[in-house]
Each structure stands twice: as structure tokens, then as C-alpha cells.
């Protein structure tokens, strides 16, 4: 998983005072201090809403494999939800019967709770992608990392109506041992990727499709974006990629937990 920093500056590097700073330590102490507040949200309709399942400890290692097996593919979609592009991606996924993992930025989830609920209602999974998408998180204090991860978890959970994120993907892949441990203690498996489609650069639909076909042997987890600018190329690419992969004998799953 290469470091990924493109197309992210529009979120900004700071968080407004209204977000409230959460100060926490990694590991069991974080779990004990934070579990009550977040798990008090009312459960939503999806299986991942179960408090017992959501709070289950997961591995601290970065997940790449698919629960669909050796010919499984994981579609992951970052930086939303976005009122223009997320609904279009949901339509394409529904058209081909594919489930995806949506790695949501906390401020975006808070601004568009209706879209978060639509993602959950369609059977997709949620992933914590931090509050403000700071790709330099790994250079910041543990206090700052905790605030970014835990506040985003809360914001996404509240926006979804109680469904907690099942993964944590560091912005730009800026994981640290601390952030991985903290996320895992909250039941969120650290999530990487194998194929960076570079769709945020808008290289053209053909280029996005070609990147997937060329790099899929590297591993099953594909990275796309539904926010941060014009994502029409991504929508068009998914409409071609999903049936192509099915014809090639791939099936679609979720990242392992």
C-alpha cells in the first residue's frame, strides 16, 4: 500500500471548535473510557449495528484481503459522502448487485446524514476516514490522532442512526502504531488498499479501468473516491469495471475483519 496524498486538500487541516477535542490513550484504556458514549447510540437496521458485534476487538494489522476468498474483490470508496456523486455510485453498485465499503470523512457524514443512512440501508459497510482528512496525521500528536479517529467515529455513527464504522482507513495511508491500536480497540480494523486507481487525478475513464486490470494481481482491495471534485469518470469506470470483473470470475466481498 503506497502513501496516497492526492486530491485531499479541500478538506482543510483543522477542525472547528464545535467538534470538541477528545483526548484518549490507545489500547484498553481508550476502550474503557469511550465505549459507553458511542455505543449508547440507538441501533440501526444493518447487522453491523449490533453493539456486541461493533465492539468486538479486531486485529491491529492493516487489512487487505477479501472475505470473498481468493477470487474476491473489495470495492472501497473514500472521502464522501457527497450529495452529487455518492447517489450515482450507489445506483451503479445496485445495478450490478455489488456491496462496497464507504470510508467517510466525519465532517461529510455530519453534513449529509441522509446519504450515510442510504449507504447503510443498501447493505454497504462504513469506514472511519478521520474528521478532516489530514494526510499528515502520522506526524501529529497522539492526542490529535485520537481526536481525529474518535470524533469521526462518533459523527459517522450519529449520522447513520447508530451503525458504527467497521474499519478505519488513515488519510493518505498515514497510519501509526498508535492509530492502528486505537482503531482496533474500537472494533475498527485498519484498512489499506492494493490498487490505487488514481481516480482523484481524473486521468480518464479508460485509464482508471486499465489501472484496475493491470494492478488487480497486487491484491483485492480497490480504492475509488466519491468526493473531492468531479467524480463522473469514477462513476463511468465502475459501470465498466464491475461487469468486467464478474465476467472474469471475480466475486465481490468486504475486507476481512
The C-alpha cell of 210 is what?
486499465
Catalytic, 225? Answer yes
The C-alpha cell of 61 is what?
494489522
Catalytic, 151? Answer no
Question: Catalytic residue among 133, 138, 225, 226, which?
Answer: 225
Output b/e per residue, 228-237; b: 16+ Cβ within 10 A.
beebebbbbb
Interatomic CA distance for residues 206 and 198, integer angstroms: 12
**Which residues is 72 bridged to in the sheet?**
251
Identify how many contiguous H helices and E strands the chain contains and give both numbers: 9, 8
Question: Catalytic residue among 78, 128, 138, 199, which?
Answer: 78
Interatomic CA distance for residues 55 and 85, integer angstroms: 31
Hey, which residues are catalytic here?
A: 78, 225
Amino acid at each position: 500500500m503506497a502513501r496516497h496524498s492526492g486530491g485531499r486538500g479541500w478538506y482543510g487541516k483543522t477542525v472547528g471548535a464545535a467538534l470538541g477535542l477528545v483526548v484518549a490513550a490507545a489500547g484498553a484504556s481508550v476502550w474503557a473510557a469511550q465505549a459507553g458514549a458511542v455505543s449508547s447510540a440507538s441501533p440501526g437496521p444493518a447487522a453491523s449495528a449490533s453493539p456486541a458485534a461493533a465492539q468486538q476487538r479486531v486485529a491491529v494489522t492493516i487489512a487487505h484481503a477479501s472475505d470473498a476468498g481468493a477470487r474476491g474483490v473489495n470495492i472501497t470508496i473514500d472521502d464522501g459522502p457527497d450529495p452529487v456523486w455518492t447517489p450515482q455510485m450507489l445506483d451503479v453498485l445496485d445495478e450490478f448487485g455489488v456491496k462496497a465499503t464507504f470510508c467517510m470523512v466525519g465532517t461529510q457524514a455530519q453534513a449529509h446524514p441522509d446519504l450515510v443512512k442510504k449507504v447503510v440501508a443498501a447493505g454497504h459497510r462504513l469506514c472511519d476516514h478521520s474528521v478532516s482528512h489530514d494526510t499528515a496525521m502520522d506526524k501529529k500528536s497522539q492526542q490529535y490522532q485520537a481526536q481525529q479517529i474518535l470524533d469521526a467515529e462518533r459523527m459517522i455513527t450519529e449520522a447513520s442512526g447508530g451503525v458504527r464504522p467497521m474499519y478505519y482507513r488513515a488519510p493518505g495511508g498515514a497510519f501509526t502504531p498508535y492509530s492502528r491500536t486505537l482503531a482496533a480497540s474500537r472494533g475498527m480494523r485498519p484498512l489499506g488498499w492494493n490498487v490505487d486507481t488514481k481516480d482523484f487525478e481524473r486521468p480518464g475513464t479508460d485509464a482508471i479501468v486499465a489501472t484496475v486490470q493491470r494492478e488487480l494481481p497486487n491484491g483485492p482491495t480497490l480504492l475509488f473516491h466519491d468526493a473531492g471534485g468531479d467524480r463522473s469518470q469514477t462513476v463511468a469506470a465502475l459501470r465498466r469495471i464491475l461487469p468486467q470483473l464478474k465476467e472474469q470470475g471475480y466475486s465481490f466481498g468486504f475486507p476481512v475483519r
